[in-house]
Structure 1
Amino acid sequence: MLKGSLSHYSPLSQLMMSLLVVVGSFMLCMFAGSVLAYLIFDVNIFTDATSLDINGASVNISVLKFYQSIYSTGMFIIPPFIIAWLLNNKVLTYLFLDKKSSPPQYLLAILTIIVALPAINLLADINSHLQLPEFLSEVEEWMRHSEDQAEIITKKFLVMETPFDLFVNLILIAVIPALGEELLFRGVIQRIFSNMTKNVHWGIIITAFLFAALHMQFFGLIPRMAMGILFGYLLVWTKSLWVPILAHLINNGMAVCMSYFINKGKLPEDIEKFGGNDASIWISGFISMIILTLLLFNLYRSRERQSE
Protein backbone atom coordinates (compact mmCIF):
# COMPACT_ATOMS: atom_id res chain seq x y z
CA MET A 1 0.00 0.00 0.00
CA LEU A 2 1.57 3.28 -1.12
CA LYS A 3 -0.54 5.60 1.01
CA GLY A 4 1.68 7.12 3.68
CA SER A 5 4.49 4.72 2.81
CA LEU A 6 7.07 7.47 2.25
CA SER A 7 6.52 9.24 5.56
CA HIS A 8 9.78 7.85 6.97
CA TYR A 9 11.86 9.40 4.18
CA SER A 10 14.22 12.26 5.05
CA PRO A 11 13.05 15.81 4.24
CA LEU A 12 15.56 15.97 1.37
CA SER A 13 14.22 12.75 -0.11
CA GLN A 14 10.67 14.04 0.33
CA LEU A 15 11.66 17.21 -1.50
CA MET A 16 13.17 15.29 -4.42
CA MET A 17 10.14 13.04 -4.58
CA SER A 18 7.88 16.10 -4.55
CA LEU A 19 9.76 17.63 -7.48
CA LEU A 20 9.36 14.40 -9.46
CA VAL A 21 5.63 14.37 -8.77
CA VAL A 22 5.31 18.03 -9.82
CA VAL A 23 7.24 17.50 -13.07
CA GLY A 24 5.38 14.29 -13.88
CA SER A 25 1.97 15.80 -13.21
CA PHE A 26 2.84 18.92 -15.21
CA MET A 27 3.98 16.95 -18.26
CA LEU A 28 0.95 14.66 -18.24
CA CYS A 29 -1.48 17.57 -17.85
CA MET A 30 0.20 19.61 -20.58
CA PHE A 31 0.01 16.64 -22.95
CA ALA A 32 -3.67 16.18 -22.12
CA GLY A 33 -4.15 19.93 -22.49
CA SER A 34 -2.56 19.86 -25.95
CA VAL A 35 -4.97 17.15 -27.05
CA LEU A 36 -7.94 19.06 -25.64
CA ALA A 37 -6.75 22.30 -27.26
CA TYR A 38 -6.75 20.54 -30.62
CA LEU A 39 -10.25 19.16 -30.06
CA ILE A 40 -11.72 22.38 -28.64
CA PHE A 41 -9.84 25.17 -30.42
CA ASP A 42 -8.46 23.27 -33.44
CA VAL A 43 -4.96 24.37 -32.41
CA ASN A 44 -2.04 21.96 -32.70
CA ILE A 45 0.96 23.36 -30.81
CA PHE A 46 3.14 20.53 -32.06
CA THR A 47 2.84 21.80 -35.64
CA ASP A 48 2.04 25.46 -34.93
CA ALA A 49 4.01 26.73 -31.93
CA THR A 50 3.35 30.36 -32.99
CA SER A 51 -0.22 29.99 -31.76
CA LEU A 52 1.14 30.37 -28.22
CA ASP A 53 3.48 33.26 -29.04
CA ILE A 54 2.10 36.24 -27.12
CA ASN A 55 3.68 38.59 -29.66
CA GLY A 56 2.55 36.62 -32.69
CA ALA A 57 -0.03 37.92 -35.13
CA SER A 58 -2.14 34.77 -34.82
CA VAL A 59 -2.05 34.44 -31.04
CA ASN A 60 -5.31 33.23 -29.50
CA ILE A 61 -5.76 34.62 -25.98
CA SER A 62 -8.47 32.05 -25.23
CA VAL A 63 -6.02 29.25 -26.01
CA LEU A 64 -3.36 30.88 -23.84
CA LYS A 65 -5.80 31.17 -20.96
CA PHE A 66 -6.77 27.53 -21.46
CA TYR A 67 -3.13 26.46 -21.29
CA GLN A 68 -2.59 28.66 -18.25
CA SER A 69 -5.38 26.84 -16.42
CA ILE A 70 -3.98 23.43 -17.44
CA TYR A 71 -0.45 24.49 -16.45
CA SER A 72 -1.58 25.73 -13.03
CA THR A 73 -3.68 22.65 -12.36
CA GLY A 74 -0.95 20.23 -13.41
CA MET A 75 1.84 21.96 -11.51
CA PHE A 76 0.14 23.29 -8.39
CA ILE A 77 -3.23 21.71 -7.63
CA ILE A 78 -2.85 18.00 -8.43
CA PRO A 79 0.72 17.34 -7.11
CA PRO A 80 0.13 18.41 -3.46
CA PHE A 81 -2.64 15.82 -3.06
CA ILE A 82 -0.46 13.08 -4.56
CA ILE A 83 2.50 14.10 -2.36
CA ALA A 84 0.31 14.26 0.75
CA TRP A 85 -1.14 10.84 -0.08
CA LEU A 86 2.37 9.37 -0.30
CA LEU A 87 3.59 11.03 2.89
CA ASN A 88 0.63 10.81 5.24
CA ASN A 89 -2.35 8.59 5.90
CA LYS A 90 -4.54 11.68 6.26
CA VAL A 91 -4.22 13.84 3.16
CA LEU A 92 -6.36 16.77 4.33
CA THR A 93 -4.58 16.87 7.68
CA TYR A 94 -1.16 16.94 6.02
CA LEU A 95 -2.23 19.85 3.82
CA PHE A 96 -3.84 21.76 6.73
CA LEU A 97 -7.21 21.58 4.98
CA ASP A 98 -9.11 19.78 7.73
CA LYS A 99 -9.30 22.75 10.07
CA LYS A 100 -11.43 25.83 9.60
CA SER A 101 -10.37 29.02 11.36
CA SER A 102 -12.69 31.37 13.22
CA PRO A 103 -14.47 34.21 11.35
CA PRO A 104 -12.33 36.86 13.11
CA GLN A 105 -9.17 35.20 11.76
CA TYR A 106 -10.54 35.23 8.22
CA LEU A 107 -11.49 38.88 8.65
CA LEU A 108 -8.03 39.70 9.96
CA ALA A 109 -6.48 37.94 6.96
CA ILE A 110 -8.57 40.05 4.57
CA LEU A 111 -7.75 43.29 6.40
CA THR A 112 -4.08 42.31 6.46
CA ILE A 113 -3.92 42.00 2.66
CA ILE A 114 -5.74 45.29 2.09
CA VAL A 115 -3.59 47.15 4.62
CA ALA A 116 -0.40 45.61 3.20
CA LEU A 117 -0.89 47.06 -0.32
CA PRO A 118 1.00 50.36 0.25
CA ALA A 119 3.85 48.49 1.95
CA ILE A 120 4.02 45.99 -0.92
CA ASN A 121 4.02 48.87 -3.43
CA LEU A 122 6.86 50.50 -1.51
CA LEU A 123 8.89 47.28 -1.68
CA ALA A 124 8.08 46.98 -5.39
CA ASP A 125 9.35 50.53 -5.97
CA ILE A 126 12.57 49.80 -4.08
CA ASN A 127 12.99 46.52 -5.98
CA SER A 128 12.51 48.27 -9.36
CA HIS A 129 15.50 50.55 -8.69
CA LEU A 130 17.92 47.77 -7.80
CA GLN A 131 20.77 47.15 -10.20
CA LEU A 132 23.09 44.19 -10.55
CA PRO A 133 26.89 44.64 -10.67
CA GLU A 134 28.37 45.62 -14.04
CA PHE A 135 29.72 42.14 -14.75
CA LEU A 136 26.13 40.86 -14.55
CA SER A 137 24.78 43.47 -16.98
CA GLU A 138 23.74 40.81 -19.51
CA VAL A 139 21.85 38.94 -16.82
CA GLU A 140 20.10 42.15 -15.80
CA GLU A 141 19.18 42.86 -19.42
CA TRP A 142 17.69 39.37 -19.71
CA MET A 143 15.75 39.93 -16.47
CA ARG A 144 14.34 43.21 -17.70
CA HIS A 145 13.35 41.60 -20.99
CA SER A 146 11.59 38.80 -19.09
CA GLU A 147 9.84 41.40 -16.96
CA ASP A 148 8.65 43.26 -20.07
CA GLN A 149 7.35 40.02 -21.60
CA ALA A 150 5.50 39.14 -18.41
CA GLU A 151 3.93 42.60 -18.38
CA ILE A 152 2.78 42.17 -22.00
CA ILE A 153 1.17 38.83 -21.16
CA THR A 154 -0.51 40.27 -18.06
CA LYS A 155 -1.94 43.24 -19.96
CA LYS A 156 -3.34 41.02 -22.71
CA PHE A 157 -4.82 38.61 -20.18
CA LEU A 158 -6.47 41.50 -18.32
CA VAL A 159 -8.36 42.84 -21.33
CA MET A 160 -11.97 42.36 -20.17
CA GLU A 161 -14.98 43.65 -22.08
CA THR A 162 -17.82 41.80 -20.36
CA PRO A 163 -18.68 40.54 -16.87
CA PHE A 164 -18.07 37.02 -18.20
CA ASP A 165 -14.49 38.02 -19.08
CA LEU A 166 -14.13 39.26 -15.51
CA PHE A 167 -15.48 35.96 -14.17
CA VAL A 168 -13.06 33.93 -16.31
CA ASN A 169 -10.08 36.01 -15.18
CA LEU A 170 -11.10 35.76 -11.54
CA ILE A 171 -11.05 31.97 -11.87
CA LEU A 172 -7.81 31.94 -13.89
CA ILE A 173 -5.80 34.63 -12.06
CA ALA A 174 -7.32 34.61 -8.56
CA VAL A 175 -8.97 31.31 -7.64
CA ILE A 176 -6.67 28.76 -9.32
CA PRO A 177 -3.34 30.41 -8.27
CA ALA A 178 -4.58 31.07 -4.73
CA LEU A 179 -5.62 27.46 -4.28
CA GLY A 180 -2.77 25.82 -6.19
CA GLU A 181 0.20 27.93 -5.09
CA GLU A 182 -0.82 27.77 -1.44
CA LEU A 183 -1.34 24.01 -1.63
CA LEU A 184 2.12 23.43 -3.09
CA PHE A 185 4.21 26.10 -1.40
CA ARG A 186 2.63 26.49 2.02
CA GLY A 187 0.94 23.08 2.23
CA VAL A 188 3.91 20.97 1.08
CA ILE A 189 7.20 22.81 0.50
CA GLN A 190 7.06 24.96 3.63
CA ARG A 191 6.49 21.89 5.79
CA ILE A 192 9.40 20.05 4.14
CA PHE A 193 11.86 22.93 4.57
CA SER A 194 10.69 23.54 8.14
CA ASN A 195 11.46 19.88 8.90
CA MET A 196 14.73 20.02 6.96
CA THR A 197 16.03 23.11 8.83
CA LYS A 198 14.20 22.21 12.06
CA ASN A 199 13.11 25.85 12.15
CA VAL A 200 9.68 27.05 11.08
CA HIS A 201 10.96 30.59 10.34
CA TRP A 202 13.61 29.34 7.91
CA GLY A 203 10.98 27.10 6.35
CA ILE A 204 8.78 30.15 5.74
CA ILE A 205 11.62 32.30 4.37
CA ILE A 206 13.06 29.67 2.02
CA THR A 207 9.61 28.80 0.70
CA ALA A 208 8.77 32.48 0.20
CA PHE A 209 11.96 32.94 -1.83
CA LEU A 210 11.13 29.94 -4.03
CA PHE A 211 7.55 31.21 -4.37
CA ALA A 212 8.84 34.60 -5.58
CA ALA A 213 11.56 33.13 -7.80
CA LEU A 214 9.07 30.87 -9.59
CA HIS A 215 7.44 33.91 -11.16
CA MET A 216 10.75 34.64 -12.96
CA GLN A 217 10.42 38.38 -12.35
CA PHE A 218 13.54 39.68 -10.60
CA PHE A 219 12.19 43.21 -10.28
CA GLY A 220 9.21 41.92 -8.38
CA LEU A 221 11.14 39.44 -6.26
CA ILE A 222 11.16 41.40 -2.99
CA PRO A 223 7.42 42.23 -2.80
CA ARG A 224 6.46 38.69 -3.83
CA MET A 225 8.80 37.23 -1.25
CA ALA A 226 7.25 39.53 1.37
CA MET A 227 3.81 38.26 0.39
CA GLY A 228 5.08 34.68 0.60
CA ILE A 229 6.40 35.28 4.12
CA LEU A 230 3.06 36.80 5.09
CA PHE A 231 1.15 33.80 3.73
CA GLY A 232 3.57 31.49 5.53
CA TYR A 233 2.94 33.04 8.93
CA LEU A 234 -0.81 33.12 8.31
CA LEU A 235 -0.64 29.33 7.99
CA VAL A 236 1.64 28.83 11.01
CA TRP A 237 -0.46 31.04 13.28
CA THR A 238 -3.87 29.69 12.23
CA LYS A 239 -2.93 26.07 11.41
CA SER A 240 -5.37 26.30 8.51
CA LEU A 241 -4.37 26.57 4.86
CA TRP A 242 -7.75 28.17 4.12
CA VAL A 243 -6.54 31.43 5.67
CA PRO A 244 -3.56 32.05 3.34
CA ILE A 245 -5.68 30.74 0.45
CA LEU A 246 -8.28 33.41 1.23
CA ALA A 247 -5.60 36.10 1.63
CA HIS A 248 -3.99 35.10 -1.68
CA LEU A 249 -7.41 35.06 -3.36
CA ILE A 250 -8.26 38.55 -2.10
CA ASN A 251 -4.90 39.92 -3.23
CA ASN A 252 -5.17 38.55 -6.78
CA GLY A 253 -8.91 39.16 -7.01
CA MET A 254 -8.56 42.84 -6.11
CA ALA A 255 -5.99 43.29 -8.88
CA VAL A 256 -8.30 41.70 -11.46
CA CYS A 257 -11.36 43.66 -10.34
CA MET A 258 -9.47 46.96 -10.26
CA SER A 259 -8.18 46.35 -13.78
CA TYR A 260 -11.72 45.64 -14.99
CA PHE A 261 -13.25 48.75 -13.44
CA ILE A 262 -10.32 50.92 -14.53
CA ASN A 263 -10.86 49.79 -18.13
CA LYS A 264 -14.54 50.64 -17.73
CA GLY A 265 -13.67 54.11 -16.46
CA LYS A 266 -15.22 53.41 -13.06
CA LEU A 267 -11.93 53.80 -11.15
CA PRO A 268 -8.91 56.13 -11.61
CA GLU A 269 -5.91 54.53 -13.33
CA ASP A 270 -3.50 55.25 -10.48
CA ILE A 271 -5.52 53.33 -7.87
CA GLU A 272 -3.52 50.16 -8.62
CA LYS A 273 -0.39 51.95 -7.43
CA PHE A 274 -1.88 53.27 -4.23
CA GLY A 275 0.97 54.46 -2.08
CA GLY A 276 3.48 53.85 -4.83
CA ASN A 277 3.12 56.55 -7.44
CA ASP A 278 4.41 59.78 -5.89
CA ALA A 279 6.30 61.33 -2.97
CA SER A 280 3.82 59.82 -0.50
CA ILE A 281 5.12 56.32 -1.17
CA TRP A 282 7.38 56.27 1.88
CA ILE A 283 4.79 57.77 4.24
CA SER A 284 1.97 55.49 3.14
CA GLY A 285 4.35 52.54 3.08
CA PHE A 286 5.51 53.05 6.67
CA ILE A 287 1.97 53.70 7.92
CA SER A 288 0.93 50.49 6.19
CA MET A 289 3.76 48.58 7.89
CA ILE A 290 2.78 49.90 11.32
CA ILE A 291 -0.89 48.95 10.93
CA LEU A 292 0.12 45.63 9.37
CA THR A 293 2.32 44.85 12.38
CA LEU A 294 -0.60 45.52 14.74
CA LEU A 295 -2.93 43.30 12.72
CA LEU A 296 -0.40 40.47 12.60
CA PHE A 297 0.24 40.76 16.32
CA ASN A 298 -3.50 40.53 16.90
CA LEU A 299 -3.62 37.42 14.71
CA TYR A 300 -0.67 35.95 16.60
CA ARG A 301 -2.39 36.62 19.91
CA SER A 302 -5.60 35.00 18.66
CA ARG A 303 -3.58 31.82 18.12
CA GLU A 304 -2.36 31.96 21.71
CA ARG A 305 -5.90 32.49 23.02
CA GLN A 306 -7.15 29.48 21.06
CA SER A 307 -4.42 27.27 22.50
CA GLU A 308 -5.24 28.22 26.10
Structure 2
Amino acid sequence: MISNEPSLNPLPSLRYSYLMRIFYFLLITFVSLIITVVTMSSIIRGGHTTALVRIATVVQDVALFILPAIITAVIVSPLPARLLCIDRKPSASITILAFVALMCSIPAMNMIVEWNENITLPQSLEALEEWMRKSEETARAQVEILLGGASVADLIINILIVGVLAGFSEEIFFRGAMQRLLSSGSINYHAAIWLTA
Protein backbone atom coordinates (compact mmCIF):
# COMPACT_ATOMS: atom_id res chain seq x y z
CA MET A 1 0.00 0.00 0.00
CA ILE A 2 1.17 3.52 -0.81
CA SER A 3 -0.52 5.67 1.77
CA ASN A 4 -0.05 7.57 4.97
CA GLU A 5 -3.82 7.97 5.14
CA PRO A 6 -5.96 6.47 7.91
CA SER A 7 -6.80 2.82 7.33
CA LEU A 8 -10.54 3.49 7.00
CA ASN A 9 -10.39 2.91 3.24
CA PRO A 10 -6.74 2.27 2.35
CA LEU A 11 -5.46 3.06 -1.11
CA PRO A 12 -4.99 0.11 -3.44
CA SER A 13 -1.64 -0.37 -5.15
CA LEU A 14 -1.35 2.30 -7.79
CA ARG A 15 0.32 2.37 -11.19
CA TYR A 16 2.83 5.00 -12.33
CA SER A 17 4.80 7.44 -10.23
CA TYR A 18 3.15 10.02 -8.00
CA LEU A 19 3.84 12.88 -10.42
CA MET A 20 2.54 10.87 -13.39
CA ARG A 21 -0.70 10.10 -11.54
CA ILE A 22 -1.21 13.79 -10.80
CA PHE A 23 -0.27 14.66 -14.40
CA TYR A 24 -2.84 12.20 -15.82
CA PHE A 25 -5.52 13.57 -13.50
CA LEU A 26 -4.80 17.19 -14.50
CA LEU A 27 -4.54 16.34 -18.21
CA ILE A 28 -7.81 14.39 -18.25
CA THR A 29 -9.53 17.15 -16.27
CA PHE A 30 -8.26 19.82 -18.69
CA VAL A 31 -9.44 17.88 -21.75
CA SER A 32 -12.81 17.31 -20.03
CA LEU A 33 -13.05 21.03 -19.29
CA ILE A 34 -12.61 21.90 -22.95
CA ILE A 35 -15.16 19.29 -24.04
CA THR A 36 -17.60 20.50 -21.37
CA VAL A 37 -17.30 24.17 -22.36
CA VAL A 38 -17.84 23.40 -26.05
CA THR A 39 -20.78 21.08 -25.32
CA MET A 40 -22.46 23.44 -22.86
CA SER A 41 -22.02 26.39 -25.23
CA SER A 42 -23.79 24.53 -27.99
CA ILE A 43 -26.59 23.47 -25.63
CA ILE A 44 -27.15 26.95 -24.18
CA ARG A 45 -27.02 28.48 -27.67
CA GLY A 46 -30.61 27.28 -27.96
CA GLY A 47 -31.62 29.69 -25.18
CA HIS A 48 -31.76 29.74 -21.42
CA THR A 49 -34.85 27.61 -20.96
CA THR A 50 -35.29 25.41 -17.91
CA ALA A 51 -34.88 22.22 -19.95
CA LEU A 52 -31.66 23.40 -21.65
CA VAL A 53 -30.13 24.69 -18.40
CA ARG A 54 -30.92 21.35 -16.74
CA ILE A 55 -29.33 19.42 -19.61
CA ALA A 56 -26.26 21.69 -19.49
CA THR A 57 -25.98 21.16 -15.72
CA VAL A 58 -26.11 17.37 -16.10
CA VAL A 59 -23.52 17.52 -18.90
CA GLN A 60 -21.27 19.66 -16.69
CA ASP A 61 -21.55 17.33 -13.69
CA VAL A 62 -20.90 14.20 -15.73
CA ALA A 63 -18.27 15.49 -18.19
CA LEU A 64 -16.33 17.79 -15.90
CA PHE A 65 -16.43 15.91 -12.59
CA ILE A 66 -17.50 12.26 -12.87
CA LEU A 67 -15.72 11.19 -16.08
CA PRO A 68 -12.26 12.62 -15.24
CA ALA A 69 -12.35 10.94 -11.83
CA ILE A 70 -13.40 7.57 -13.25
CA ILE A 71 -11.03 7.69 -16.25
CA THR A 72 -8.08 8.62 -14.03
CA ALA A 73 -8.98 5.91 -11.50
CA VAL A 74 -9.16 3.27 -14.25
CA ILE A 75 -5.78 4.37 -15.64
CA VAL A 76 -3.86 4.57 -12.35
CA SER A 77 -5.44 1.81 -10.27
CA PRO A 78 -6.30 -1.86 -10.69
CA LEU A 79 -9.12 -1.20 -8.19
CA PRO A 80 -10.66 2.08 -9.37
CA ALA A 81 -13.77 1.79 -7.15
CA ARG A 82 -11.61 1.48 -4.05
CA LEU A 83 -9.48 4.45 -5.12
CA LEU A 84 -12.64 6.56 -5.49
CA CYS A 85 -14.12 5.20 -2.23
CA ILE A 86 -17.25 3.93 -3.98
CA ASP A 87 -16.62 0.26 -3.28
CA ARG A 88 -18.79 0.14 -0.15
CA LYS A 89 -21.85 1.80 1.26
CA PRO A 90 -21.54 4.14 4.25
CA SER A 91 -22.47 2.84 7.66
CA ALA A 92 -25.80 3.83 9.18
CA SER A 93 -24.08 5.74 11.99
CA ILE A 94 -22.02 7.82 9.52
CA THR A 95 -25.14 8.55 7.47
CA ILE A 96 -27.08 9.68 10.54
CA LEU A 97 -24.13 11.77 11.74
CA ALA A 98 -23.85 13.45 8.33
CA PHE A 99 -27.59 14.22 8.32
CA VAL A 100 -27.41 15.72 11.84
CA ALA A 101 -24.36 17.80 10.86
CA LEU A 102 -26.22 19.06 7.79
CA MET A 103 -29.28 20.03 9.82
CA CYS A 104 -27.15 21.79 12.43
CA SER A 105 -25.27 23.74 9.76
CA ILE A 106 -28.39 25.20 8.11
CA PRO A 107 -28.66 28.18 10.52
CA ALA A 108 -24.98 29.01 9.96
CA MET A 109 -25.39 28.79 6.18
CA ASN A 110 -28.47 31.03 6.32
CA MET A 111 -26.54 33.55 8.40
CA ILE A 112 -23.68 33.60 5.88
CA VAL A 113 -26.17 34.09 3.01
CA GLU A 114 -27.72 37.01 4.89
CA TRP A 115 -24.29 38.56 5.55
CA ASN A 116 -23.44 38.14 1.87
CA GLU A 117 -26.65 39.87 0.77
CA ASN A 118 -26.10 42.79 3.14
CA ILE A 119 -22.38 43.34 2.55
CA THR A 120 -21.38 46.96 2.05
CA LEU A 121 -17.90 47.89 0.93
CA PRO A 122 -16.18 51.27 1.36
CA GLN A 123 -16.76 53.95 -1.27
CA SER A 124 -13.34 53.24 -2.81
CA LEU A 125 -14.50 49.67 -3.62
CA GLU A 126 -17.85 50.68 -5.08
CA ALA A 127 -17.02 49.13 -8.48
CA LEU A 128 -16.17 45.80 -6.81
CA GLU A 129 -19.39 45.87 -4.79
CA GLU A 130 -21.42 46.58 -7.94
CA TRP A 131 -19.72 43.69 -9.77
CA MET A 132 -20.40 41.38 -6.79
CA ARG A 133 -24.09 42.34 -6.74
CA LYS A 134 -24.47 41.84 -10.50
CA SER A 135 -22.74 38.43 -10.25
CA GLU A 136 -25.08 37.45 -7.42
CA GLU A 137 -28.13 38.54 -9.44
CA THR A 138 -26.93 36.60 -12.50
CA ALA A 139 -26.36 33.48 -10.38
CA ARG A 140 -29.81 33.87 -8.78
CA ALA A 141 -31.43 34.19 -12.22
CA GLN A 142 -29.63 31.04 -13.44
CA VAL A 143 -30.76 29.10 -10.36
CA GLU A 144 -34.36 30.25 -10.88
CA ILE A 145 -34.21 29.06 -14.50
CA LEU A 146 -32.67 25.73 -13.42
CA LEU A 147 -35.30 25.14 -10.73
CA GLY A 148 -38.07 25.81 -13.26
CA GLY A 149 -41.69 25.14 -12.38
CA ALA A 150 -43.47 24.23 -9.18
CA SER A 151 -44.86 20.79 -10.08
CA VAL A 152 -44.00 17.54 -8.30
CA ALA A 153 -42.06 16.40 -11.39
CA ASP A 154 -39.99 19.62 -11.29
CA LEU A 155 -39.30 19.05 -7.59
CA ILE A 156 -38.09 15.49 -8.23
CA ILE A 157 -35.91 16.58 -11.17
CA ASN A 158 -34.44 19.43 -9.08
CA ILE A 159 -33.64 17.09 -6.19
CA LEU A 160 -31.94 14.65 -8.56
CA ILE A 161 -29.92 17.30 -10.42
CA VAL A 162 -29.12 19.81 -7.66
CA GLY A 163 -29.16 17.55 -4.63
CA VAL A 164 -27.98 14.14 -5.76
CA LEU A 165 -25.99 14.53 -8.99
CA ALA A 166 -24.17 17.74 -8.02
CA GLY A 167 -23.19 16.32 -4.62
CA PHE A 168 -22.10 12.95 -6.03
CA SER A 169 -20.12 14.45 -8.91
CA GLU A 170 -18.22 16.89 -6.72
CA GLU A 171 -17.47 14.29 -4.05
CA ILE A 172 -16.19 11.70 -6.54
CA PHE A 173 -13.97 14.33 -8.18
CA PHE A 174 -12.61 16.17 -5.14
CA ARG A 175 -12.69 13.56 -2.36
CA GLY A 176 -12.55 10.40 -4.43
CA ALA A 177 -9.96 11.35 -7.05
CA MET A 178 -8.12 14.56 -6.18
CA GLN A 179 -7.72 14.06 -2.44
CA ARG A 180 -6.84 10.36 -2.73
CA LEU A 181 -4.31 11.00 -5.52
CA LEU A 182 -2.70 13.87 -3.61
CA SER A 183 -2.38 11.69 -0.52
CA SER A 184 -0.92 8.77 -2.52
CA GLY A 185 2.56 10.29 -2.46
CA SER A 186 4.77 11.74 0.20
CA ILE A 187 2.37 14.60 0.95
CA ASN A 188 0.78 14.52 4.40
CA TYR A 189 -2.85 13.33 4.35
CA HIS A 190 -4.01 16.44 6.23
CA ALA A 191 -2.25 18.66 3.68
CA ALA A 192 -4.04 16.73 0.91
CA ILE A 193 -7.38 17.44 2.59
CA TRP A 194 -6.64 21.17 2.87
CA LEU A 195 -5.33 21.41 -0.71
CA THR A 196 -8.44 19.66 -1.99
CA ALA A 197 -10.69 21.95 0.05
Inter-CA distance 192–130: structure 2 relative to 1 (3 Å threshold): farther
Instruction: Say if 2:104 is the partner of 1:115.
Output: yes
- CA 1:190–1:127 in 2, change beyond 3 Å: closer, same or farther? farther
- Give, in whole Å, the separation in 1 of the partners of 2:189 and 2:121: 31
Following the alignment from structure 1 to structure 2, what is the Cα–Cα distance between the partners of residues 169 and 163?
10
Q: Shift in Å at residue 201 of structure 1? A: 2.9
Shift in Å at residue 60 of structure 1? 2.2
2:30 paired with 1:23:
yes
* 1:134 shift after superposition: 6.6
- Match for residue 64 of structure 2? 75
How many equivalent residue pairs? Answer: 185
Deviations 1:249-289 (A, max 9, x none): xxxxxxxxxxxxxxxxxxxxxxxxxxxxxxxxxxxxxxxxx
Tell me which amino acid in the other structure corresponds to 2:161: L
**Counterpart Cα distance in 1 of 2:191 and 2:111:** 24
CA distance in 1 between partners of 2:137 and 2:185 (Å): 36
Q: CA shift at 1:203, angstroms?
A: 2.5
1:199: how far off?
2.9
> What one-letter code is carried by the residue in structure 1 that aligns with 2:177?
V
Structure 1 spans left out of the alignment, 5+ residues: 38-44, 53-58, 209-308
Judging changes above 3 Å, is the alpha-carbon distance between structure 1 residues 139 and 164 closer, same or farther for their aligned structure 2 residues? same
Distance 1:18 1:143, change over 3 A: farther
Q: Is the 8 A contact 2:15 2:76 kept in 1?
A: yes
Tell me, yes or no, if the aligned pair for 1:84 and 1:94 is still in contact at 8 Å: yes
Select 1:60's aligned residue among 34, 38, 49: 49
Q: What is the distance in 1 between the residues matched to 2:86 and 2:109? A: 28
Please provide the CA RMSD for this pair: 3.0
Compared CA separation, residues 5 and 182, structure 1 to 2 (3 A): closer
Residue 121 of structure 1 and its aligned partner are, at CA, apart by 2.1
The Cα shift of 1:192 comes to 3.7
Determine the C-alpha separation between the residues in 1 that align with 2:115 and 2:184. 33
Instruction: Tell me what 2:168 maps to.
Output: 179
Contact kept in structure 2, 1:72 and 1:177, CA below 8 Å: yes
Q: CA deviation at 1:131?
A: 5.9
Distance 1:85 1:71 in 2: 21
Residue 169 in structure 1 maps to residue 158 in structure 2? yes
Task: Report the CA distance shift for 1:142/1:107 in structure 2 as closer, same or farther (over 3 A).
Answer: same
- Using CA pairs under 8 Å that are at least 6 residues apart, name the structure with larger relative contact order, 1 or 2: 2
Deviation for aligned residue 1:161:
2.8
Q: Paired residue for 1:102, among 91, 114, 118? A: 91
CA displacement at 1:73 relative to structure 2:
0.9
1:146 correspondence with 2:135: yes
**Correspondence for 2:18:** 9
Contact 2:179 2:192 (C-alpha < 8 Å) held by counterparts: yes
Asked if 1 retains the 8 angstrom alpha-carbon contact of 2:84 and 2:180, the reply is no
CA distance in 2, matches of 1:188, 1:133: 41
Moved more, 67-76 or 127-136: 127-136
The structure-2 alpha-carbon separation of the partners of 1:130 and 1:32, relative to structure 1 and needing over 3 Å to count, comes to closer
SS at match of 2:18: coil
CA distance in 2, matches of 1:203, 1:122: 29
* TM value normalised by structure 2: 0.76
Q: 1:90 to 1:24 in 2, by over 3 A?
A: same
TM-score normalised to the size of structure 1? 0.52
Query: What is the CA deviation profile of residues 57-94 of structure 1, one whole-angstrom value per residue up to 9, with x for unaligned ones?
Result: xx422112111111211001111001111221110010
Distance 2:190 2:119 in 1: 26
* Contact 2:16/2:76 (<8 A) preserved: yes
> In the superposition, relative to structure 1, how do residues 196 and 132 fare at CA in structure 2: closer, same or farther (>3 Å)?
farther
